[in-house]
Amino acid sequence: MSPISTLPRRSLAGLLLAAAATAPAQVHAQAQADPLPSWRDGEARRAILDFLRAVTTEGGREYRPPEERLAVFDNDGTLWVEQPIYTQVVFAFDRLRAMAPQHPDWASREPFRAAISGDKAALAAAGEKAIVEIIAATHTGMTPEAFRQTALDWLATARHPRFDRPYTECIYQPMLEVMRLFRAQGFRTCIVSGGTTEFMRPWAERVYGVPPGQVVGTTFKLRYELQRNRGELLTLPEIDAVDDGPGKPVGISRFIGQRPLAAFGNSDGDYEMLQYTTTGDGRRLGMIVHHDDAEREFAYDRLSPIGRLDRALRDAPAAGWQLISMRQDWGQVLP
């Protein structure tokens, strides 16, 4: 029988109160046994535990063997903070300013002029196309190894404007616990995000425990070259695949090769990934992190230009997707 079948259904607080009547040692043991200590007891927590119990209990009708156990997670807004602007966009703007002296034409060329001068109105008017152009200019023309080091150097010093901590520490403690619990139950945990693969891979294993080969993101085209008797890849300023919306199931099939049993997202960009996951055969789990806690993080959904949650929020009940209320379900947000 799977260890999940013995997981407590009562809240951690209830367990501690019950154990206090016996012995301090039991209090410690039960506290240690809680697989999701940052989660409050509620429908979302129970949905996770019930799903794991069902698919890992040998002999049960919903049992799935370890080789079929795959869980996928969006990154921005699901595993780490995405407000007030996507972290990778902040990185791209900082890199653009650092590169500006080598590109004097950018001072009068849009959208680079607007980004360098901080002209938010012009950037907003230029829309998503401008962001893609800036990311292409700052993320390409080098080897993947060189870019990874550039990203790591930036992450080592950049800090979130509200939380005043490194971006890699602006991660959600409850989601870290979910990923660890899934792995403990024989699941592969993969990141499937709209951010670029090369931006996430350098730090995903250290921060989330997800190795580079299990990170799927937006990709640029690559060209192989022989440089000084050494084979190298050069990143080209041309998008190869966009890992967002309907591109997420495509990326999952292309790079992972298996339909997930569980998917976690937070925005309409995760709609198709949730749909692809939960419309498969057998027991499935689809969950949406709902940002409704302005006091501890941010509150946004339908009207937000960053991480908009409208269509998925509307269709969640009919699709059987469980909402995770940051305000109600999480006792702790950041580590």
Per-residue pLDDT of the chain (335 residues; tens, 9 = 90+): 444 544 443 333 443 333 334 444 443 444 458 999 999 999 999 999 999 999 999 999 999 999 999 999 999 999 999 999 999 999 999 999 999 999 999 999 999 999 999 888 888 888 889 999 999 999 999 999 999 999 999 999 999 999 999 999 999 999 999 999 999 999 999 999 999 999 999 999 999 999 999 999 999 999 999 999 999 999 999 999 999 999 999 999 999 999 999 999 999 999 999 999 999 999 999 999 999 999 999 999 999 999 999 999 999 999 999 999 999 999 999 99
Which pair of structure tokens corresponds to residue 253? 């099939």
pLDDT of res. 50: 99
SS3 call for 286: strand
SS3 call for 102: helix
Helix, strand, coil abundance in the chain, percent, nearest 5: 50, 20, 35
CA distance 333 to 335: 7
Q: Which domains does the chain have, with CATH numbers?
A: 66-84+163-329 (3.40.50.1000), 87-142 (no CATH)
pLDDT of res. 19: 38
pLDDT of res. 164: 98
How many Å separate Cα 10 from the centre of its chain?
Answer: 28
CB 216 within 8 A of CB 191: yes
CA distance 236 to 220: 6
Beta-strand pair 262-265/230-241: unpaired
| Distance in angstroms between the alpha carbons of the first and the last residue of the chain | 32
CA distance 261 to 279: 10
Torsion of CA 216, 217, 220, 225, to 10 degrees: -30
Beta-strand pair 285-290/322-325: parallel
pLDDT of res. 158: 98
Cα Rg of the chain, angstroms: 22
pLDDT of res. 62: 98
pLDDT of res. 33: 82
Element (H or E) spanning 217, and its range?
strand 215-227
- Which residue's entry shows tokens 């379900």? 329
pLDDT of res. 32: 57
Tell me the β-bridge partners of 235.
Answer: 222
